[in-house]
Amino acid sequence: MTTPEVHLLIVDDDERIRGLLQKFLVRNGFWVSAARDAGHARRLLSGLEFDLIVLDVMMPGETGIELTKSLRKDISTPILLLTAKGESSDRIAGLEAGADDYLSKPFEPKELLLRINAILRRMPAADTSRDGPKLMQLGPARYDLERGELRHGDELVRLTSTESQLMRLFSVQPGEAISRTQLVEDLGRDGGQAQERAVDVQITRLRRKIEVDPKQPRYLQTVRGAGYMLAPD
C-alpha cells in the first residue's frame, strides 16, 4: 500500500484529465497537488517538495519537455512524462531532457500507478554488505557508493533517479559489462527495443556528467556485443 507521505505533482493543462488523475491517485494513497501549466508548476515547486512529477508534454506555452530541461538545472525529482501515442520523438527528447520515464496516451490509470511505483522503487539503499571499494575514482569525478553521490571536486553532481540507479548497478560490479536487456530489467521497466533505446539515452546523459569527453568515453564504456561497463581508475 502506498504511504500517504508520498507527494506527487500532476501538471496537465486539461482540467478534466488533471482532476481524474488527482482523484485516482489520492484514492491509491498518494498526497497529490495539481498544476495547470508550467508557470503554475514552478510556483508550487518553489514552496513545496515533491517525490515525483507527472508532466504532460503537450501544453500551451512552455512544453513539458522544456520544463523538464529547465527543472533539471536545479532539482533531481523524478519526472514521468505523458506523451502522445506514437510520438517517439517526444519520448526521446523527454529522456534527453532528463525525464525518468514516459507513458503514452491514452493509458489505463492502473498502468500509471504501476509506473509511478516503479520509479519510486528505483532508489535502493546502498548495499554496504558487498566487498569492494566504497569510493570510485572516475578521472576528475568520484562516486561514493555508500552515499550514492557523484562529485567533481567538492561540487555535488545532480543525478536523476534513473541515473542514480544506473550508477549503483554499474558500481557494484565494476569492470563487468551489463547488457541493455539486463539494465532494462534491473530498472524495473517492461522489455522491448524502445526501452533499450531509452537506456541508451540515459547512458548518454550520464556520460556527460562523468566523462571529460562524453563522445570518447573512458569510464562508462560500451562493450561491443555485451552492453555497458563502468571502468574506474
Supply 131's cell numbers. 566487498
Mean pLDDT of 126-140: 65
User: What angle, rounded to 10 degrees, do the helices at 193-210 and 161-171 form?
Assistant: 80
Last residue of a domain, one of 60, 87, 120: 120
Q: Please tell me the total count of domains within the chain.
A: 2
* pLDDT at res. 39: 92
Mean pLDDT of 194-217: 90
* pLDDT at res. 126: 41
Give SS3 for 152: strand
CATH number of 43's domain: 3.40.50.2300
Last residue of a domain, one of 88, 120, 152: 120
From residue 1, alpha-carbon distances to 104, 113, 116, 132 in Å are: 25, 12, 13, 35
* pLDDT at res. 76: 86
Calpha distance 203→226 (Å, rounded): 15
* pLDDT at res. 187: 75
28/114 same-domain check: yes
Calpha distance 81→101 (Å, rounded): 6
* pLDDT at res. 211: 93
From residue 228, alpha-carbon distances to 21, 50, 138, 179 in Å are: 37, 32, 15, 6
Give SS3 for 182: helix
45/79 same-domain check: yes
Residue 85 has pLDDT above 80, yes or no: no
Are the C-beta atoms of residues 99 and 81 closer than 8 Å to each other?
Answer: yes
17/112 same-domain check: yes
Residue 186 has pLDDT above 90, yes or no: no
11/114 same-domain check: yes
150/209 same-domain check: yes
**Which residues, other chains included, contact 138 with Cβ-Cβ below 8 Å and sequence gap of 6+?**
210, 219, 230, 232, 233
Residue 48 has pLDDT above 50, yes or no: yes
Q: What are the start-end ranges of the E strands in the chain? A: 7-11, 31-35, 52-56, 79-84, 101-105, 135-138, 141-144, 149-152, 155-157, 220-223, 227-230
* pLDDT at res. 88: 77
Mean pLDDT of 46-58: 89
Q: pLDDT tens digits, residue range 153-179?
A: 889 998 888 888 888 888 877 888 999
Last residue of a domain, one of 94, 120, 146: 120
* pLDDT at res. 127: 44
